[in-house]
Structure 1
Amino acid sequence: MRLVTLLGMALAAMGVPALADVPVPDYAQGQYWSTVESLPQGMAAPKGLRGVDVFWIHPTTTRSPTDYNHDPLDPAVLKWTEESAVQRQGSAFSACCRVFAPRYRAATTKALADPANREKAFALAYSDVERAFDWYMAHENKGRPFIIAGHSQGGAHTTSLLEKRIKGTKLQGRMVAAYVIGINLMEGDLSPRLAGIPFCESPAQTGCFVQWNAVLAGSDSGPMLKSYRDIFVAQNGGKDGGKPLCVNPVTFDMRRGLSLSAEAKGAVAGDPGFGPMGPLQAGAVAAECRDGLLTVWPAPSLGLKPLPGGSMHFHDVGLFWADISANAALRAKAWLKAHGSR
């Protein structure tokens, strides 16, 4: 599994119990699923049953001094995961789709910083995600078209699902799209790893996937790009992976890597945290894919803070909340038109 440098900087909750005391999630139980209950202030809840499902995988949300994976039902972990990730990020897909968001034993920041145990922690986390996906397909999907989406660690697990559960199967024909957000897939991952699942080139294309990593304009992206290249080379027998894959999540069009602020449909202000979201701010970010990274110029009124090196990792979704929402709806409608409404 490709691990991402930025994952080590994921925002944290505290107070995680020993993993030995944590039961394996049973996805037949409702307590192991999140529901989207919060939208940006001023937005009305979607009405009626949407025609497409979204399987949403949350990012790293736990810092622990002792454990490599978190207890998804621990109250402190659950509150932070829900309010900083599921509601703030997964909600972007709720206008078009029913959202299924599993609570899983995600790897912690301790695991991300420990090369000796990182792979094991991610394997455990992915085993939950895969079982949740299989349960959803067996009991809830009922032949419906679907989107898979995830951010950061969730983006890594999204990619693994594409590789291990979607590629070359009957499910691939029902996949509307995949949103792989905030990780470091390279041009070299298009084949053989994801052969047959193309990178989306246009905003209404289906059966494909998208990716972006946001960095603040004026930042030195050299170290980040070098890290991405080195990781790919190390994990692929010395093969050069080329550039990171990037689409502008305002245009979702590979022919239009640059978007002006006026085009942005709506961003979530402030850093991820507890409590409800404020109103969306339209026209608040310009963006451009440069060298495989998404360079952003956010409006000061958003009050967003970059991570070290200028990474806007915490804001990969929030900066483009309304744009993602509109694009997911566009792709869902395109799939249903091409294949018949279900």
Structure 2
Amino acid sequence: MTDVRSGQVRRPGGPGFALVLLVGSLLLVAPVAGPAGAAARTIRASSTTVWLCRPGQLLDPCAYSPDATSVAPDGETSPPPALSDPRAHAFDCFYVYPTSSNEPGDNADLRIQPVEREVAAVQASRFSQVCNVWAPMYRQATLGALNRGAAVDPAVVATAYDSLLAAWKDYLAHDNHGRPVVFIGHSQGAAMLIKLLQAQVDPSASLRRRMVSAIVLGGNVQVPVGRDAGGSFRSIPTCGSSSQTGCVIAYSTFGSPPPAAAFFARPGQGVSLQSGQTAKVGQEVACVNPVTFSSRAGPLRPYFLSVTSVVPHVTVGTPWVTYPDLYTAQCEQSGGASWLQVTATATAGDERPTVSATLGPLWGYHLQDVTLALGNLVADVASEEAAYR
């Protein structure tokens, strides 16, 4: 993720270490006013939820401009096609952001900080082309709570989840108005989303019908080997195509096979502990390729904010930059791990910058799980919505 600046991370030895998304202060990413339209009229002054992103509210980071520049291997630039006007849509996206809080204490409060705005702009704002993005603040486990080298206190996880659950129930009761929903979460946000889907959506036929899809990245969704459901979720399958609805897109990105102690890609390790998942005989971590929805490789459509410095960028005049045909992605399995293998395909003369495993081999490309496939994921949601209609 390209507006994420990685600081010094204490590498814990135990598998209970929950996963951390380190976010730096990026003053150039300014939130903008939200779009007008039907969804904007749903704002309630009496809402009990603190909304990071909410259609129509001022300073909404999920309404950040989608304008982008496409940079070809020879350096030629052009505007990529937009999917839709970022106005009110018939579909909602419910986004749960990853670990970002560096507040003191084990659980964050509900005050909106610059880091939450920044990560929402990077991960969720491009989805505003295809849905109304809602993102509640929740009392997530802080960097301090997750960086101690031991399993995170279950009470800390429970506090985080309970606050998210309250926001979901508030949204469903007062703001959803029957619209179909796409769920989006990454890292700790993915772990909380797994718990929410398990408790609220999977057992409910009516909510499953309203679920367009769920994008659950860097969260270790588990499935029985060779099956698409029956692990993390009893009735919600993994997606087999971009036109399938009511299903889950899940993966973790690596540039090489995950080490044995990797925080992702194996059941019961790392981030799995945040969602209460354990290693079970006959289960594996799901990998859904957002490009091909099969075992075949396909070209990724990454989108990076052009004002950030973690991944160097060609100078462009738009907020976003994309590098077509720079990466391919393919689901792979080895040593009990299942992951989305991302391979740079640059040839001689292609000077476009590539990503690296910023936090080390145990993390892979975790910081870029969303941005490496952001164009594909937004297009997938558009296809799912078309099929849902």
Are the structure 2 counterparts of residues 187 and 73 from structure 1 closer, same or farther at C-alpha, using a change threshold of 3 Å?
same
- Report whether the alignment pairs 1:171 with 2:222: no
Counterpart of 1:54?
A: 93
**Displacement of 1:194:** 0.9
Q: 2:260 aligns with which of 199, 203, 222?
A: 222
- Report whether the alignment pairs 1:290 with 2:332: yes
- In the TM superposition, 1:36-115 aligns within 5 A as 36-42=62-68, 46-64=85-103, 66-73=104-111, 78-83=113-118, 85-114=119-148, 115=150
Counterpart of 2:182?
A: 147
Residues 252-296 of structure 1 show CA distances to partners (whole Å, capped at 9, x for unaligned) of: x12x4311xxx33343265389xx943222222111111110111
Describe the SS at the equivalent of 2:321: coil
Counterpart of 1:305?
A: 356
Structure 1 CA distance for aligned equivalents of residues 151 and 302 of structure 2: 41
Q: 1:10 aligns with which of 18, 21, 32?
A: 21
What TM-score do the two structures reach when normalised by structure 1? Answer: 0.79
- In the TM superposition, 1:241-256 aligns within 5 A as 241-251=282-292, 253-254=293-294, 256=295
Residues 200-230 of structure 1 show CA distances to partners (whole Å, capped at 9, x for unaligned) of: 11111001111000011x3553332898345
**Displacement of 1:50:** 1.3
What TM-score do the two structures reach when normalised by structure 2? Answer: 0.71
* Contact kept in structure 2, 1:200 and 1:210, CA below 8 Å: yes
Describe the SS at the equivalent of 2:285: coil
Counterpart of 1:280?
A: 322
Q: Report the structure, 1 or 2, having the larger helix content.
A: 1
Structure 1 CA distance for aligned equivalents of residues 157 and 129 of structure 2: 31
Describe the SS at the equivalent of 2:283: coil
Identity across matched positions, percent: 27
**Displacement of 1:9:** 3.7
158-167 or 280-289, which deviates more: 280-289
* Contact kept in structure 1, 2:50 and 2:136, CA below 8 Å: no
Name the Cα RMSD after superposition: 3.2
**Structure 2 residue runs without a partner (length 5+):** 1-13, 26-44, 54-59, 69-79, 313-317
Query: How many matched pairs?
Result: 309
Residues 146-190 of structure 1 show CA distances to partners (whole Å, capped at 9, x for unaligned) of: 111101111111111111110121111111011111111222494
Describe the SS at the equivalent of 1:279: strand
Structure 2 CA distance for aligned equivalents of residues 323 and 226 of structure 1: 22
Describe the SS at the equivalent of 1:224: coil
Structure 1 CA distance for aligned equivalents of residues 311 and 136 of structure 2: 20
**Displacement of 1:89:** 0.4
**Displacement of 1:107:** 0.8
